[in-house]
Chains A and B, each alone.
Chain A
Amino acid sequence: MNMELSRRQFLTGAGAGLAGTTLGALGFGDAEVAYAAAIRPFKLAGTTETRNTCTYCSVACGIIMYSKGNLSKGEKAEIIHIEGDADHPTNRGTLCPKGAALLDFVHSETRLKYPMLRKPGSDKFERISWDQALDRIARLMKDDRDENFIQKNNDGVTVNRWLTTGFLAASASTNETAWATYKVVRSAGILAFDNQARV
C-alpha cells in the first residue's frame, strides 16, 4: 500500500488513524492529537494573487495584485497590495514611481468608476449608465460626421476625411482590441487618432 492510498482522516478518527502518519508511526501521536485539537478553532484566511498589466503606459509592465476575499466564492474582494511581477519579461519585478503607486490609484476616492456627463452649460458631472453614454457618444459622432465628413477635396480627389472628431485609445489594450480600434477609427475617416500609451 502506498502513501497515496494510506492517507488517514485523523481529525475525525483519532486513535485508529494515527499509525497512518509519520508522527504517529514514530511515537509522537500524543503531540499530534493535541496539536490537531488546538488548531481546530482556527479558520483559514484567503488571499488571491492576480497577474495584470499596469494601466499607465505602453511599456505594459506586469503587476501582481494581492486581494483579500474571493469574488468567485461570492465574497467581497479588496486589493491590499500591488507589486511588480518578477516573472514578467518586460519589467522583471520593477515598477516606475507611477506604477508603484497603483494601489492608491485603485483606492482613490476621486477615481472615475462609471460614465459621468457634464451637460452643456452645467457646472457639475452627473452619473449616467453605460448604455446612455454609448448611445449619446454614437449619436453625437454620427451627427458630427454627417455634417462635416469630407468626401472629396477641392481638386475632386476622393479623400473620405472626418477631421472634426478625434479618438484617444487606451494603453493596456490587447492586440485584438487595438486592431479593432484601428479598423473602426480609420474606416470612419478619423485622422486625429492617438493612444494613451504615448502620454
Chain B
Amino acid sequence: MSKAGPPRHDPVPIGEVAEPPFVRLPDPSRIFAERAERFAALASNHPLASYLLFLAALCEAQHKAQDGALEPELPPADAIARAREFNMPPLDRNRFTASAEFDATFGRLLGLAEAIEKPAAAAEALARVAGADAAQRDAMIRNVLADSIPVEHLADHVYAAAAMQLHFARLATRLDDKRLVPVGDGACPACGAPPVSSMVVGWPRAHGTRFCACSLCGTLWNYVRIKCTICASTAGISYQEIDGGPEAVKAEICDSCKSYVKILYQLKDPALEPVADDVASLGLDLLVREAGYRRGGVNPFLLGY
C-alpha cells in the first residue's frame, strides 16, 4: 500500500453548508456601474475592444440615467398577489405601459448615449430612436419585451433594450424577494424573461450553487446545476470551453434541445459578470455553433448568433 504515491487532489472546501437564497434581486444603483467597469476591464487587449468600450459607456449611461429618476410604479398589490397565487412572475412584461417616469428615464438615457464615442451606424440608430414618436417607441419596447427583435432594426433596439433593462431592474429591486417563487424553467421569477447566462457562485453560505441571471431585470435565481436552463433536461449535459482560454467561462450544452447557455464559474474568477462576460466570450459562441448547437442565452448586446 505504501507505493500509492502522494495525494493528487486539491484541497476541496468540505465544511461549507450551502443554503442559497432562492433569488437575489438586482441593485440598480450598483449593477450597471459594475457592468460598465467589467466591460472596460475586458476591453484591454480584446479583439472586440471597441465594442466592449461602447457597451461600457452605454452601461455607464444606464447607471447615470437613474440620477433624478422618479420612483417607478410597481403593479398593484392585488395583481402581484394574483401572480403569486398562480406561480406567475409579478412583473408582467406583456402589460408594460410607458409612464411619465419611464419616458423621462428613457429620454435621459438617450441623452447620455449621445456623448458616447461610436460608429456612424450606432449614431444613426440612436438618432432614429431619439426621433421616434410614441407609437414607434412603444413598438420597439414590445419587440424587446417579447425577445423578438426585427433583424433590420437590431441597432435601434439596443438602446430600447438598455432602457428596458434599467426600468425592470428598478422595478425588480422594489419587489419582496421572500414572496417570489419559481415560475418555470428558464424564466425569471421576477419578470419571466429568459436568462442571459448562469453563474456558479462562491458566495458565503452558497458556495458552489448556481444562479441564472435574468437578461431583462438582472435578478439572479437559484437553479440546480447540471441541468439545461432552457429545457430542464438533466441528460446529455456537457461543458465546452475554448482550449487554452479562460477556464471559468464554459458553454453548458444540452443534447436534448441542442442548445447551450454560458455558465460562468464565479467561484474561480469573482470578477465575472453575467452580461459583460457573455459578450466578451463571443469566441466560445462561434466555436460551439460550429459544433451544431443553438445559442440559448438572450443578450440584447449580442443578438444574431
Contact = CB atoms under 8 A, between A and B. Distances in A.
Given A46-B238, A84-B12, A93 B18 contact: yes
A9 B162 CA distance: 26
A27 B300 contact: no
Contact of B250 (A4, A35, A47): A47
Contacts of B244: 42, 45
B150 A7 contact: no
Interface string B235-255: 001111111110000100000
Nearest to A9: B289
Contacts of B14: 84, 94-97, 99-100
A3 to B, nearest CB: 5
Interface magnitude class on chain B: 35 or more
Contact of B207 (A25, A38, A93, A100): A93
Contacts of A87: 18, 209-210, 224-225
Given A6-B151, A42-B244, A49-B226, A31 B51 contact: yes
Interface in B1-58: 1, 3-5, 7-20, 47-51, 54
Contacts of B210: 87
Interface residues of A, number: 63
Contact of A70 (B15, B120, B155, B238): B238
Contact of A49 (B122, B239, B241): B239
A45 B240 contact: yes
Contacts of B288: 44
Contact of A22 (B7, B18, B301): B301
Contacts of A95: 12, 14
B304 A42 contact: no
Which interface residue of A19, A31, A44, A108 has the most chain B CB atoms within 10 A? A44
A19 B245 CA distance: 28
A4 B8 CA distance: 46
Contacts of B208: 83-84, 86, 93
A31 B47 contact: yes
B291 interface: yes
B153 to A, nearest CB: 8
Interface in B89-127: 118-122, 125
Nearest to A99: B14
Contacts of B239: 46-49
B122 A27 contact: yes
A25 B47 contact: no
A112 interface: no
Nearest to A21: B304
A84 B209 CA distance: 11
Contacts of B154: 19-22, 24-26
B138 interface: no
A101 to B, nearest CB: 6
Nearest to B6: A104
A57 B302 CA distance: 48
A44 B244 CA distance: 9
B210 to A, nearest CB: 8
A97 B13 CA distance: 10
Interface stretch (B60-68, B73-81, B183-191, B279-287): B279-287
B47 A38 contact: yes
Interface string B144-184: 00011111101100100000000000000000000000000
A64 interface: yes
A17 to B, nearest CB: 8
A26 B158 contact: yes
A48 to B, nearest CB: 5
Contacts of A180: none
Contacts of A36: 286
Interface of B: 1, 3-5, 7-20, 47-51, 54, 118-122, 125, 147-152, 154-155, 158, 206-210, 224-226, 237-245, 250, 282-283, 286-291, 300-305
21 contacts: A3-B147, A3-B148, A6-B150, A11-B290, A28-B54, A31-B50, A39-B242, A40-B286, A42-B242, A45-B242, A46-B241, A48-B238, A64-B225, A70-B238, A81-B10, A83-B12, A87-B209, A87-B224, A94-B16, A101-B7, A103-B8
The 3 tightest CB contacts between A and B, nearest first, are: A27-B119, A21-B304, A27-B121
